[in-house]
Structure 1
Amino acid sequence: MGDEANTSAFFEIQGRMIETTEKLKQVQNQLRSKEGEKKMAYLTLEELKQLSDDTNTYKSIGRTFVLEPKSGLMEELEQKLKDVETAIASLQTSKEYLEKQMVEIENNLRELLQQDHGLARKIMSMYLNHHPM
Structure 2
Amino acid sequence: MAKSVDLELKKAFTDLQIKMVDTRKKIHFIDSQIELLKRCMHHVDITQCAISCYPPGAKTYESVGRMFLLTDLEEVKNNLKNRDTQLTKRASDFQKNKEYLENNLKESEDNIREMVQQRRVQSEKTN
Same fold (TM over 0.5): yes
User: Which residue of structure 1 aligns with residue 89 of structure 2?
Assistant: 86
**Are 1:22 and 2:25 matched, yes or no?**
yes
| CA distance, structure 2, for counterparts of residue 74 and residue 56 of structure 1 | 13
Unaligned runs of 5+ in 1: 118-133
Report % sequence identity. Answer: 26
1:70-108: CA deviation from partner (whole Å, max 9, x where unpaired): 111101000001111111111111111111111111111
Q: Which SS does the other structure have where 2:68 is aligned?
A: strand
Return the offset for 1:15: 1.1
| CA distance, structure 1, for counterparts of residue 35 and residue 100 of structure 2 | 17
| CA distance, structure 1, for counterparts of residue 37 and residue 100 of structure 2 | 19
| CA distance, structure 2, for counterparts of residue 17 and residue 4 of structure 1 | 20
**Are 1:115 and 2:118 matched, yes or no?**
yes
Return the offset for 1:59: 0.8
Q: Which SS does the other structure have where 1:116 is aligned?
A: helix
**Are 1:6 and 2:9 matched, yes or no?**
yes
| CA distance, structure 2, for counterparts of residue 83 and residue 116 of structure 1 | 49
> Aligned letter for 2:60?
T
Unaligned runs of 5+ in 2: 121-127
Matches within 5 A, 1:1-133: 2-117=5-120
User: Which residue of structure 2 aligns with residue 130 of structure 1?
Assistant: none
Return the offset for 1:109: 1.1
Pairwise CA RMSD: 1.3
Pairs aligned (count): 117
Give runs of ≥4 in structure 1 deviating > 4 Å. Answer: none
